[in-house]
A and B are shown apart, each in its own frame.
Chain A
Amino acid sequence: MTTRCDAPASDDDLLDYWTGAMPGTDADRMEEHFFSCGECAARLGAMVSLGTGLATLVRRGRVSGVVSRSLLNRLQRDGVHVRQFTVWPGETVPCAAFPGDDLLVVALHADFAGAETVNLSVTGPEDASFRYMGDVPIAGAEREILWATPGADVRRMPSARLRLTLTSGRPGAPVLGEYELDHTAVPGA
């Protein structure tokens, strides 16, 4: 019977329960609640379904944007084929995606001193804007930005030079580094 829940669990509580962040007695209470409340059980189910879908996408390399090093390590542990290019300010790096590459990751290094966030803009031939990523947090102790693109997307790209500009998220947005990716389309890839 569908009855309204008297004390619906918050999304935060559901997530804390699911990720194991909720202390034991609270987690026990949460379980007792969702075994007696169909509404909250359904909400938890929907949340888990969303999470399962996200994890499936990631495992298939279908994730685009900036990722953290810990996430990348986890992906590699899970068997995702990652091709990584490391680039320093002023460098041009040749790159290509080959069959079997699930994910391409460009590791951008720079002097991030004083910056908590950065902006990354990617432009193609004739300065055409390719992608812009703003307010990117600098995660982890590595002080690097990892830009991930699905291998399937890169394989569809024609040969082109991409220019990457990393700016600080601070007022005035000083440039932290400029980089070039010399992408070669691999025939049959």
Chain B
Amino acid sequence: MNRPDLAAATGCVRLTPVSRGCYGCRSMTQRIDATDGDLARVITAREPGSREHAETELYRRFAARVRLYGLRHLRDEESARDLVQQVMLLTIEKLRAGAIRDADQVGSFILGVSRTMAIDLKRRERRRDRLRETFAVEPPTAAPDDSTLDLDRLEHCLGRLAERERMIVLLTFYGERSARQIGDEMTMTEGNVRVTRHRAIGKLRACMSGAGAVP
């Protein structure tokens, strides 16, 4: 059976990179014009050649989402990366084995696996904490970093916000405080905090993209 026949038989679309990789670029930079369900079907159909592209693309689309989920629930970059590896590996294995019934629901499947595995990772982390307490071992503290962001530019942009805006942004992202908690601390209404925060983030975005100067 040639490729178009196989695609027709399995209901798969042909995977065509919409932006070709360039010399020195990793294949991860190729974008494939297909739905998540299409990708899942190609992986399950084991179509030679296309399957690798589909797996790479599925990973590209979902690894970042699983990492965010992990950061939100585990609050630790290393654990979030572990979660990505475990979730994506299991997902691709299940797809290859044809064990995911509704390919169009692959996103829901990945979320479900993320939830289960995050609970497991949290449990293990709690065990590790208990061991640390018992043996008084300090955990290694690796502050999360973001190498993709121009920190010099961000510092410049942050410095140009109004005092109130800067305080709210820092309390949100560094202090991890909700709008209500910030309002209590700064004697502002929750609504005012939200409006000021929204405006401040907009200014930071514009300044970071160079599209607009922070007044």
Contact = CB atoms under 8 A, between A and B. Distances in A.
B177 interface: yes
Contacts of A137: 163-164, 167, 186-188
Nearest to A38: B61
B5 interface: no
Dominant secondary structure at the B interface: helix
A91 to B, nearest CB: 23
Given A49-B149, A52-B146, A21 B164 contact: no
Q: Chain A contact residues: over half helix, strand or loop, or mixed?
A: helix
Contacts of B33: 1
A21 B180 contact: yes
Interface size class of A (residues with CB under 8 A): 35 or more
B162 interface: yes
Contact of B178 (A21, A56, A67): A21
Contacts of B194: 12
Interface string B162-176: 111011011111111
A136 B162 CA distance: 9
Contacts of B198: 11-12
A138 to B, nearest CB: 7
Contacts of B64: 41-42, 45
A55 B144 contact: yes
A66 interface: yes
Interface in A61-103: 62-68, 70-71, 74, 78-79
Given A48-B68, A50-B149, A133 B167 contact: no
Q: Interface residues of B toward A: which range?
A: 35 or more
Given A35-B111, A41-B65, A137-B187, A54 B163 contact: no
A189 to B, nearest CB: 21
Contacts of B111: 31-32, 35
A102 B138 CA distance: 23
Given A11-B198, A48-B68, A56-B145, A71 B205 contact: no
Interface string B28-68: 00000111101000000000000000000000011011001
Interface string A27-60: 0000110111010011011111111111111110
Contacts of A78: 143
B158 A54 contact: yes
6 contacts: A35-B110, A54-B154, A54-B170, A65-B163, A135-B163, A136-B163
Interface of B: 33-36, 38, 61-62, 64-65, 68-69, 71-72, 107-108, 110-111, 141, 143-146, 148-149, 151, 154-155, 158-159, 162-164, 166-167, 169-180, 185-188, 194, 197-198, 201, 204-205, 208
Interface of A: 1, 11-12, 15-21, 31-32, 34-36, 38, 41-42, 44-59, 62-68, 70-71, 74, 78-79, 116, 133-140
